[in-house]
Amino acid sequence: MTKIPKNLQTIESHVLDLQRLHPSASGDFTSLLNDISFAAKVVSRDVTKAGLVEDLLGATGQENVQGEVIQKLDEFANNVFLKCLGRRGQVCIMGSEELADPVFADTSQGTGKYIVVFDPLDGSSNIDANVSVGTIFGIWKRKSQLAHVNQDDLLQPGSEMVAAGYIIYGSSTMFVYTAGSGVHGFTLDPGIGEFLLSHENIMTPFTGKIYSVNEAYEPRWSPRVREVLRQLKYGRDSKKSTRRDAPTDGAGMSSRYIGSLVADFHRNLLYGGVYLYPPTTEYPKGKLRLMCEAAPLAMIVENAGGYASDGSGSILDIVPEDLHMRVPLYIGSRGDALWIEKMLGEDPAAL
Ligand code: AHG
Ligand code: MN
Ligand code: MN
């Protein structure tokens, strides 16, 4: 006999439960999350058959605003999210990693309540090799009451986010989100086409044994970042440690780096560990984007008990200068990310 999954709660009913706690809620937020989960199912379906369908693998031959190669699946996922989000007028403005300028949602005539910024396909350079990729999104509320949204609505810090999440298209497809009361994970049941609650109230360990960084960039790091990595490997000076169980040598640390932020982040969230993308000579301000990558994952990690830093303070406190602003990122287990911040903070030039 087929076993019934232990939990049959869908994202839709989970968000509805949340909505019931706020009797004045209009349902706009619930329907926005439904739109995102629908778009995720469409992208998931096409990612899994990318090798079969013509025109889904490979590069488009174009570059995005950041000079990065746009893969065909980047473009596809971007169009799916643009089309699905805010169909019922909940969204006033959207920002995408793939588009230079924000997009005003035409369904809301500028009156929608929410701002959504997303990375439609993260880790896209891995697509052709069947490696896990993802989508990241952050949701803010508009501040202006006027019919026309402005820059101040868009450029809000992570601390003002009302929800954030990611989808990982891996061995199974998972949707992980937080609206400020816990981090919850749902796994797509392909048979019924629904995301079902599989990981309720995810909490990340205070310290972990995994560090994730592109170590080939060591020659392009500052001396201080090199020292952080040396101590992660060979052991830490205990006086500076914020780890409760700081090892005196590197025994037990492991390195894991997929090169898809969502996949590296997701593994470390569940197992404990820290992901680092320090400034390099190529990317002196860091490579990862504040609004569509770092801030949403920072909200998730903090709601799971972890921490995200740019090397001098919380990612959530940074006010974006523009939609595509980049930041250094140290994110994961709280003890580990704080330790790195402390190490780097002793030498501001490290950034
Ligand atoms: P994207 O595919 O959305 O452009 O993001 C790529 C990012 C991130 O997913 C990953 O962690 C990082 O770039 C990898 O960079 P390196 O190849 O420099 O290590
Ligand atoms: Mn990305
Ligand atoms: Mn991307």
Residue located nearest, by CA, to atom 3 of ligand 1: 122
From the CA of 69, the nearest ligand is 1
Protein residue closest via CA to atom 14 of ligand 1:
259
List 114's β-bridge partners, or say none: 91, 141
Give me the DSSP letters along 251-306. TT-EE---S-HHHHHHHHHHH-EEEEE---SS-TT-SEEIIIIIHHHHHHHHHTT-
Q: Which residue has the tokens 């894991």?
A: 256
> Is pTM, for the whole model, over 0.85?
yes
Calculate how far, in angstroms, residue 260's C-alpha sits from the geometric centre of ligand 1.
6
Reported as type and span, the H/E element at residue 307 is strand 307-309
What would the mean pLDDT of 37-64 be, rounded to a whole number? Answer: 80
Higher pLDDT, 55 or 319: 319
Residue type present at position 98: E
Best residue among 260, 265, 276 to mutate for probing ligand 1, ranked by most atoms within 8 Å of CB: 260
Residues with CB under 5 A from ligand 2 (ion): 119, 122
Q: Which of 132, 133, 277 for a ligand 1 pocket mutation test, highest count of atoms within 8 Å of Cβ?
A: 277
According to the model, what pLDDT value does residue 52 have? 63
How many residues can be counted in the chain?
A: 351
pLDDT given for residue 127 in this prediction: 80
Residue whose token pair is 């303070």: 313
Chain centroid to CA 115: how far? 16
CB atoms within 10 A of CB 216: 8
Ligand 1, pocket residues at CB < 6 Å:
68, 97, 119, 122-125, 214, 259-261, 287
Element of type H or E holding 341: helix 334-345
Which residue has a Cα nearest atom 12 of ligand 1? 259
Q: What is the pLDDT of residue 69?
A: 72
pLDDT tens-digit profile of 62-121? 787 777 777 788 899 999 999 999 778 899 999 999 999 999 876 655 678 999 999 999
Half-sphere exposure of 82 (CA within 13 A, CB side): 16
The pLDDT tens digits for 244-298 are: 655 566 667 899 999 999 999 999 999 999 999 999 999 999 999 999 999 999 9
Q: What is the pLDDT of residues 184-231, one digit of tens each?
A: 999 999 999 999 999 999 999 999 999 999 999 999 999 999 999 999
E strand or H helix at 42, and its extent? helix 28-48
What percent of the chain stands above pLDDT 90? 66
Say which residue, 36 or 47, is predicted with more confidence. Answer: 36
In order of their start, the domains of the chain are 11-199 (3.30.540.10), 210-350 (3.40.190.80)
Angle between helices 28-48 and 72-84 (to 10 degrees): 150
Band (34; pLDDT cuts 50, 70, 90): very high
Report the mean per-residue pLDDT for the chain: 89
Ligand 1 mutation pick, 63, 69, 70, 125, max ligand atoms within 8 A of CB? 125
> What are the two backbone dihedrals, phi and then psi, of residue 84, each rounded to the nearest 5 degrees?
-85, -30
| pLDDT of res. 348 | 47
What b-and-e string marks burial along 120-132, b requiring 16 or more CB atoms within 10 Å of the CB?
Answer: bbbbbebbbeeeb
Atom of ligand 1 nearest to the CA of 121: 3
Per-residue pLDDT of 129-188, as tens digits, reads 889 999 999 999 998 876 677 778 899 999 999 999 999 999 999 999 999 999 999 999
Pocket test for ligand 1, best of 74, 122, 135 (most atoms within 8 A of CB): 122
The CA 97 to ligand 3 mean position distance, Å, reads: 6
pLDDT at site 282? 94
Q: How far is the CA of 220 from the centre of ligand 3 (A)?
A: 23
Strand pairing class (254-255; 210-212): parallel
Residue 25 has pLDDT above 80, yes or no: no
Which burial class, exposed, middle or buried, applies to 54 when counting CB atoms under 10 A from its CB (0-12, 13-18, 19+)?
A: exposed
- 262 CA: nearest ligand 1 atom: 9
Model pLDDT, residue 217: 97
Query: Is residue 299 pLDDT above 70, yes or no?
Result: yes
Task: Give dist(CA 107, CA 91) in Å, integer.
Answer: 8
